[in-house]
Structure 1
Amino acid sequence: MTKAQPIEHRVGRKRGLRAVAVGAALLMNFLIAALPAQAAPSGLPAAHPARMRLPVPTGRFPVGEVTLHLADTSRHDPWHPAQDDRELMVSVYYPTTRAAGRPTAPYMLPRAAAHFDSVTANDYLGMDVPRGRADWAATVTHAAQGAPVAHGHRKRPVLLYAPGLGEPRTWGTTLVSDLASRGYVVVTVDNTYESPEVEFPDGSLATMVTPGGPDAFIRKALTIRDADTSFVLDQLGSVDSGRNPDVDGRPLPRGLVGTLDLSRVGMFGHSLGGTATATAMDADPRISAGINMDGNLTNYDGTPMPVAEHGLTRPFLLMGKDGQTDTGPGWAAFRAHTPGWNRQLRLRGSEHASFTDAESLLPQLGLAPVTLKHDIGTIAPAAAVRTNEAYVSAFFDHWLRGTRGHLLDGPSPRYPDMEFVD
């Protein structure tokens, strides 16, 4: 097996990547649709990096977490064909009842955090966060590493989380942890060499490849993500049957074997991750329900993607930001051609990043109000977080657990910021 190359062999492609990624952002909305040069000034760097905290999950369970290093030996890495295997890092979040005494799962590992601070936040995500302002590695999560899985009489439904282009898998930890606290097993996936940085257990760091033409890059990325998603589902099947697929042989948490209900699988994602949710559902019938959070379904040339042209037969929810957006043509085509259940929601006062941890983390950095408005809109951060959690959990509760609720039937006075789109 060929390991991911160390950071010294990977970092240093910033200028070429930034130019192409920015061009894709303006046309595709796969990256945050704003250039760093257009972002409002956020002030001088802080004397000491801020140690931020994620919101506390709202479910009845504490949350456990374990990372897995997976290798698909059936294919070479599509981004680096000289590598014998396709290697991925995933995190598994799950309900536990015994978190006490366990170390808290890190938000980012040290080298990944350093790369995120020096390159990703500004140049990939289009945010104006001064370098050194945030201590990303010390951000407080609410997941206990390696805690045993909570006992249950039935297997637990499984959810997959797909981050956006230029986003690490940790960028959705708030929503992921909340779902785990409600009893789901949630698996977050870094798509190596498309994710901005992936740190492996040996300390090596794989960073994003330099895109060529945006259209070809997006098409290739989606094809690779579809294969990665199916591979991860295969590995989860191995876990549930008692085999440990971790390349490095690290132990699985007690109770994980036998608890995964792979007949009830959902998927959700932000930006390109939302797009990948639709394409992965189209490619793999094991995924029963999906949510696209502000991800485009339109090709670079303005035509609908294939999944938008023929739709899906399984339930699908579209959650979009407020104001002008370029998701419209693809989403309209998808809804027109989808025979299965579908809804479109709009989060009032939100921006593209309001569906990610940016909504809760950026306000803790002392940034100027105009900068926060540019990055996460005008909606109150707590309202955005709790509204997103409510609708995502209601969707999966209905379609994977058979829980009948009314939140998806129409506007709710409990969540006035969520608008239903006809």
Structure 2
Amino acid sequence: MVRRSRRSRLIAAVVALASAAVLVLAVEQMRWQLYAPLAVAALSLLVGALRLSRGAPDRPRWRSALAGMGAALLLLLAFLPPLLFPMFTVPDPAGEMPVGTRNFALVDPDRSDPVGGAPSGKRELAIRAWYPAAKVDVKREVAPLMSQGVADGMVSGMMPIFIFQHLQLIDTASVIDAPIARDIARAPVVIFVPGFRSFTTQSSVLAQDLASRGFVVLAIGSPGDASALEYPDGRIAAFNNNSLLADEKGIEALTRATAATNLNAQRRAIAEALKEMRGADATLRGQVADVRLLADAIAREEVDGFAGRLDTSRVFIVGMSLGGAVATQACAELPTCAAAVNLDGFQFGDFFERAYPKPLLVLMSDRGDVPPLNGSMYRERGQPFPDDVIYREIVGASHLDFTDFALAAPGLKRWAPNPLLGAVDGADMLTATSLSVASFLKSVGAGRTQSFRLPSTGNVSIRAVDPAAPAQP
């Protein structure tokens, strides 16, 4: 039978485990990361209760040791999800103004709905706005990083959908439907273009930081291209664009370009890829038309809720990934665009064939041993560049570090190197990105682009790279 001392230790362990489980359920918000630890706790409680009720013969030491090692391994595996994907805190905006956020829709009467479900049958953009808000005494609801509708409806490529579910439990500093600041007469406008198969709130940290500094940020949700879009009436538009993945020859050429250590081979592969990327080009053209639709609404002062509050002479376009390519292409085409920012976007379209006399900030990731593919487009095709183009690479960053996902998996950053999240600290990365973008846009607005230098970004190293110089393998 179980010895008295062993029985006492077992009772103490069962009580401690049950108390810990109750505490977790009482304090923590339920999310997928807790399922495995709670399941292991429930199983352990069941086994402990059975041993207490039935008793058990003494076991050899080696069997007890083996059982203990197995239990420790099971606990370690169970606690990997909350360790790798913890709940995290969104950094507060650095500006002095409170931030409000709201949603509205914008219908293009000249194009059809690519997804289906739009009441008008026409292409309907879902726009998320962040703006300087008036201070209010009454406590109001703040926006999460991702709405429940988007979390439930999104697709995520190779990663399972549930990976992102907990983002709806993480609050930002942006107050839903807060009144716009009374002392803002004409605020400069930033049109933000998210990455392909992403969502409008993918860069909430950047958007609310810009809003706290006096900008109005309007993030475009393009139906069919976004992982999931939520409209003000609650409709969810699902992803419906496999055109980029269908460009198999283009993808193969990009793969060769990524793997190439020979500069000439990389150039040839990039040129081949651009000829084959018809689907990607069509997607870019469609999103440029989306930007044009919103820019025209801004110029006519027809943006829902912002009539008379926007500076139509200071419209900037900022984008990430595919959105970065869209931002630069759209800014080249639209006379109302004052400047653009490309955050780690592979540039295509006819951007490099155009005269581009506008300020442009290009922030790229540092991808390690081979020349960064996205940056190679600027290095090898961007010759000559005007003085207003500023090209920088962030050391230790990878693609998703330019989004709020930089905060989502610090364990993966630290212990499991991967192609999407670099070694750079997530909070430091987002702070550096926000400060760089804000400083660049303010310098453009003040007419100081020629003398602009990126500000000091603390723990993040941003290095200058001459885009006209050959990339070194």
**TM-score category, normalised to shorter length:** 0.7 to 0.9
Partner of 1:104: 142
Q: d(CA) in 2 for partners of 1:153 and 1:81?
A: 37
CA distance in structure 1 between the aligned counterparts of 2:413 and 2:429, rounded to whole angstroms = 19
Which ranges of structure 2 fall in alignment gaps of 5 or more residues?
1-76, 248-276, 467-473
User: Partner of 1:72 in structure 2?
Assistant: 108
Compute the TM-score of the two structures, normalised by the length of structure 1. Answer: 0.75
Give the superposition deviation at 1:149: 1.4
TM-score, with normalisation over the residues of structure 2?
0.68
Residue 388 of structure 1 aligns with which residue? 433
- Does the residue aligned with 1:175 lie in a helix, a strand or coil? helix
- Equivalent pair of 2:413/2:422 in contact (CA under 8 Å): no
Change (3 A) 1:178 1:334: farther
Per-residue CA deviations over 1:26-63 (Å, capped at 9, x if unaligned) read xxxxxxxxxxxxxxx9975459x955432111001110
Counterpart selection for 1:309 from 350, 353, 374: 353
* Distance (Å, rounded) in 2 between the aligned partners of 1:218 and 1:133: 26
2-side partners of 1:58 and 1:270: how far apart?
21
Aligned partner of 1:259 in structure 2 is 309
Partners of 2:231 and 2:131 lie apart in 1 by 21
Q: Aligned partners of 2:450 and 2:185: how far apart in 1? A: 21
Task: Give how far 1:69 is off.
Answer: 1.5
Q: Deviations over 1:317-356 (max 9, x none)?
A: 1110013321244212553144361011010111111111
SS of corresponding position for 1:226: helix
Query: Do structure 1's residue 209 and structure 2's residue 254 form an aligned pair?
Result: no
Residue aligning to 1:398: 443
- What residue is the counterpart of 1:84 in the other structure? 121
The yes-or-no answer on 1:331 pairing with 2:378 is yes
2:206 is aligned to 175
Query: Over alpha carbons, which structure has the higher Rg?
Result: 2
Aligned to 1:139: 170
Q: Please state if 1:420 is matched with 2:464.
A: yes
Separation in structure 1 between the aligned mates of residue 197 and residue 123 of structure 2, nearest angstrom: 19
Q: CA deviation at 1:287?
A: 0.8
For residues 60 and 211 of structure 1, what CA distance do their matches in structure 2 show? Answer: 42
Hey, what's the Cα distance between the residues in 2 that align with 1:42 and 1:282? 51
Correspondence for 1:7:
none
Question: 1:135 Cα shift?
Answer: 1.2
Cα shift readout 1:363-402 (whole Å, capped 9, x = no counterpart): 3xx6573346553211122221111111111110000244
Q: Does the residue aligned with 2:409 lie in a helix, a strand or coil?
A: helix
Residue number in structure 1 paired with 2:321: 271
Residue pairs, 1:4-15, within 5 angstroms: none
Task: For residue 383 of structure 2, give the secondary structure of its aligned residue in structure 1.
Answer: helix
Distance 1:258 1:170, change over 3 A: same
- The 1:386/1:58 distance shift into structure 2, 3 A limit, reads same
- How far apart, CA to CA, are the structure 2 residues paired with 1:130 and 1:88? 23
Asked if the contact 1:45/1:130 (under 8 Å) is kept, the reply is no
Looking at structure 2, the residues matched to 210 and 335 of structure 1 have their Cα atoms a distance apart, in angstroms, of 29
Match of 2:293 in 1: 231
Looking at structure 1, the residues matched to 176 and 297 of structure 2 have their Cα atoms a distance apart, in angstroms, of 20
Identical columns (%): 26
Partner Cα separation in structure 2 for residue 237 and residue 109 of structure 1? 30
1:289 aligns with 2:339: yes
**Contact 1:311-1:334 within 8 A present in 2 as well:** no
Does the CA-based 8 Å contact 1:265-1:400 persist in structure 2? no
- Name the CA distance, whole Å, in 2 between partners of 1:151 and 1:397: 21
2:284 equivalent to 1:222: yes
Task: Indicate conservation of the 8 Å contact 2:439/2:455, yes or no.
Answer: no
Distance 1:210 1:237 in 2: 30
Q: CA separation of 1:171/1:99 partners in 2, compared to 1, >3 Å: closer, same or farther?
A: farther
Q: Distance in 1 between matches of 2:206 and 2:97?
A: 14
Figure out how many residues of one structure are paired with residues of the other and give that number: 353
Aligned residue for 2:226, secondary structure, equals coil
Shift of 1:142: 0.8
3-state SS of 1:235 partner: helix
- Aligned-residue Cα RMSD (Å) equals 3.0
List per-residue Cα deviations over 1:227-269 (Å, max 9, x = no partner).
Answer: 111111223345x3xx575xxxxxx3xxx33110011010111
User: Who is 1:10 aligned against?
Assistant: none
What stretches of structure 1 of length at least 5 have no aligned partner? 1-40, 246-251, 299-304
User: Hey, what's the Cα distance between the residues in 1 that align with 2:229 and 2:354?
Assistant: 34
- The 1:306–1:390 alpha-carbon spacing in structure 2 relative to 1, beyond 3 Å, is same
1:150-170 alpha-carbon deviations (Å, 9 max, x no partner): 133641110011111111111
Separation of aligned partners in 2, 1:418 and 1:129: 33
> Structure 1 residue 377 and structure 2 residue 422: aligned?
yes
- What are the residue-to-residue correspondences of 1:351-362 with 2, within 5 Å? 351-362=398-409
